[in-house]
Amino acid sequence: MNKKLIMGLTIPLCCTLLNASEELDDVTVVGIQNSYYEENSSTALKSDSSDKDTPYSTTTTNKTLIDDLQALRLEDTYDYTTGVTKIGQSADSITIRGFDIDLQNIQVDGLPGLISRFGSPSTANVEKVEILKGPASVLYGNMEAGGFVNIITKKPQAENKVTIETSYHSYLSNSSKLGEDNGFTTSVDATGTITNGLYYRFIAVGENIDSYRGNVGNKNLYVYPSLLWDIDDNTSLLLALEYGKEDGDADDGLFVANHDISTAADITTVYQDDGDYDNDEGTAINLNLEHYFVNNSVLNVSWRSVFHNDERALNENRTVNQAVNVEDTTLTRRHRDQSNDRDWHSFDANLKFKAYTGSIVHNLTTGVSGAYRETDYDRIAFGGNLTPNINIYNPSHSSTYTSVEGNRRKTEYLSGAIYAQDKMNLTDDLIFVTSGRVDRTKINYYCLRGSCADDNTTYSTNFVGSLGLVYNINPFVSVYGSFGQSYNPETAERVDVDGNGLDSEKSKQYEVGAKFNINEKLNTTLSFYKINKENVAESNGSYYVLTGEVESKGIELDVQWLPTENWQFKAGYALNNAEYVAGSSLGEKPSNTPRNTAFVFTRYNIPTRVFNGVLGLTSGVTYKDSVFTSSSESTRVELPSYARLDLGVHYDEKDWSLSLNVQNVADKKYYEYGSNDYSIYSGEPRKIVLTFKKSF
């Protein structure tokens, strides 16, 4: 279609819709919605800043969207987040802009450390989730290249309120009949005033979840108490605790014959044995002190400590044994019994203030941060292969193994950093942001038992910076460009040919884009980016070489549209091309990185009351291109592209609500992600989620 014709049709249509929505402002509309759009973000610049004046790309999932999706866990929101892809079952199993992240890339109120490793975080304590795209080390420390997730938690409120929410889920599918595999989640959220200036919040969640996959299930408990003390008009102190315990059945997914996904067994097939488990337990303590000075400067001091243990005992999928006949294909499993301890201690102190040079306003942030992290990985048993092997279609769980003691490794990470940022208003329409960070890291590694790398200590000093420019063309449109860097120190287990520690991974991103904000009803971000991650370590026998490099470039489009006060859309599209541009994997794509992903989600509230309440309908479609489960041709499997339809019906009264969501309405069989040819996970079959919420 001719571009002029497209513009000729689009501009009058947008103007008509916007005028229609403005005319509705003069009448009372039943079913007015809270917007999915958040104008301000606290993550990108470490201060509350307008998205339009920020030279970076951010995505916010607020509580309104979380509720409409009936997202009980953080991973339930990723399908409706541009540029983010699920790649596994653990808490950090996602990619952002084509790069895997790690636990450092998921932070809670700006500090790292989750209370769970195997499970995605519960949304019961989540106010909103902000995702900053691209390298973000300058303000938040070492991390992977693609971006990071900042979980903004719920805080105590002065108004006394108690909310009870309970959800039931089951499947309505040929794979799992209604009532066969059930899940129950119940939460209590209580907040209010204890005495003048002292407020509390207490959130507790209990879950008992059966999966559609065999006898796999989870029993989880989460508790989130917090206290907020307004010491005086200018000073507040927040104390927050988190506790989580997850007891789950281990599940390594499906395996396939001849690297062909069509040979996979029924999606309910499980190759692990009864009694195999993945268990998590974690506790976190958060402290935050905020003080406003008379000149409007703000001091913020935060501390977070996490004490975490995960235990895993299973007969894990390991090697596919190909056969002439597919039905004779078998799987070699390996026995694993491990206990891992992780302690995180992080602090950040920053001062925000203004300064002036002539007509230029400087919004300055200066800070210091530090962290101590200790990991103790104990492979109690590791490496005993089971006999006989297990069949692809008729698994027999009568195998035996000889227990082999594994190794035990301990690592200590100690880091300290200083950073500064200057957001300059050069003119009324031109904003320039620059920042820098210097970090010093020491890593001690110890081999406590068994066969593992020799004890080693490494030191690294890293300097990273960022630059950004925003130009407001008019009150509705801004354009921006930015450059940012990240670093991620290598583990001390890895050494070069001379036995020396390796340099840190380094990442850099160039990004340009445009942001549109029209009457707060149509909000769009279009971004173009290129990220390069260098110094990727590759094994060369007994040592490592820094010859690898990954490049990711792409386009992202985010749209939030509120055509009327009772109808809104959220849509996104991401084009990503990630590949190895140096090293032994030259030309290969990283695993689980789709070229195209897209989604659209909409809610429409009927503009007349139904039994004195509001009736709303939601609909969502997600699309994901095909992916490979490995960058290696010898073990990878191609997972086909898929689209999924989700629907929901929501009824809201003044102090209670009832929702029915149907996920995967067409009961489509699809595969979300995988590792090599022996650990592939299907998407859930048609699932219904019924939720009731009551506030007092």
What's the Rg (C-alpha) of the chain?
26
The backbone torsions φ and ψ at residue 671, rounded to the nearest 5 degrees and listed phi first, read -120, 125
Percent of the chain with pLDDT over 70: 96
The backbone torsions φ and ψ at residue 171, rounded to the nearest 5 degrees and listed phi first, read -110, 150
Q: Is the pLDDT of residue 575 over 80?
A: yes
For 631-652, b/e burial (b = at least 16 CB within 10 A) is: beeebbbebeebebebebebeb
Centre a 10 Å sphere on the Cβ of residue 61 and count the other Cβ atoms it contains: 25
Q: Is the pLDDT of residue 489 over 70?
A: yes
Among residues 227, 279, 229, the alpha carbon closest in space to that of 249 is found at 279
Confidence category of residue 28, pLDDT binned at 50, 70, 90: low
Measured between alpha carbons, how far is 476 from 676 in angstroms, rounded to an integer?
Answer: 47
Centre a 10 Å sphere on the Cβ of residue 12 and count the other Cβ atoms it contains: 10
Question: What does the DSSP assignment read for 168-180?
Answer: EEEE-SSSS-TTT
What is the chain's mean pLDDT, rounded?
A: 93
For residue 671, the cross-strand partners are: 682
Q: Exposed (0-12), middle (13-18) or buried (19+): which is 195, by Cβ within 10 Å? A: exposed
Confidence category of residue 16, pLDDT binned at 50, 70, 90: very low
Confidence category of residue 29, pLDDT binned at 50, 70, 90: low
Centre a 10 Å sphere on the Cβ of residue 515 and count the other Cβ atoms it contains: 24
Among residues 440, 376, 442, the alpha carbon closest in space to that of 411 is found at 376
What are 534's two structure tokens? Answer: 């260098």
Q: Exposed (0-12), middle (13-18) or buried (19+): which is 672, by Cβ within 10 Å? A: buried
User: Average of pLDDT values for 442-462?
Assistant: 95
Q: Out of 90-104, 257-271, 652-666, which region has the weakest mean confidence (pLDDT)? A: 90-104
Give how far the C-alpha of residue 178 lies from the chain's centroid of Cα atoms, to the nearest Å.
30
pLDDT for 519 equals: 75
Q: Is the pLDDT of residue 5 over 60?
A: no
Q: Is the pLDDT of residue 17 over 70?
A: no
HEC string of 295-337 equals CCCEEEEEEEEEEEEEEEEEEEEEEEECCCCHHHCEEEEEEEE
What are 160's two structure tokens? Answer: 């006394």
Measured between alpha carbons, how far is 622 from 572 in angstroms, rounded to an integer?
Answer: 9
300-324: pLDDT as tens digits: 999 999 999 999 999 999 999 999 9
618-632: pLDDT as tens digits: 999 999 999 999 998
pLDDT for 23 equals: 43
What residues contact residue 566 under an 8 Å CB cut-off, 6+ apart?
A: 29, 30, 31, 32, 33, 604, 605, 606, 607
Measured between alpha carbons, how far is 187 from 206 in angstroms, rounded to an integer?
Answer: 6
Confidence category of residue 220, pLDDT binned at 50, 70, 90: very high
Q: Is the dihedral of CA 675, 679, 681, 682 positive or negative?
A: positive
Q: Is the pLDDT of residue 551 over 60?
A: yes
Q: Is the pLDDT of residue 66 over 70?
A: yes
Centre a 10 Å sphere on the Cβ of residue 115 and count the other Cβ atoms it contains: 25
Confidence category of residue 12, pLDDT binned at 50, 70, 90: very low
User: Average of pLDDT values for 401-416?
Assistant: 94
The number of C-alpha atoms within 13 Å of 185 and in the hemisphere containing its C-beta is: 22
Measured between alpha carbons, how far is 189 from 231 in angstroms, rounded to an integer?
Answer: 24
Ramachandran sector of residue 676 (left: φ over 0; alpha: ψ -120 to 50; beta: rest): left
657 versus 7: which is more confidently predicted?
Answer: 657
CB–CB of 473/489 below 8 Å?
A: no
Provide the CATH number for the domain formed by 17-695 in this structure.
Answer: 2.40.170.20
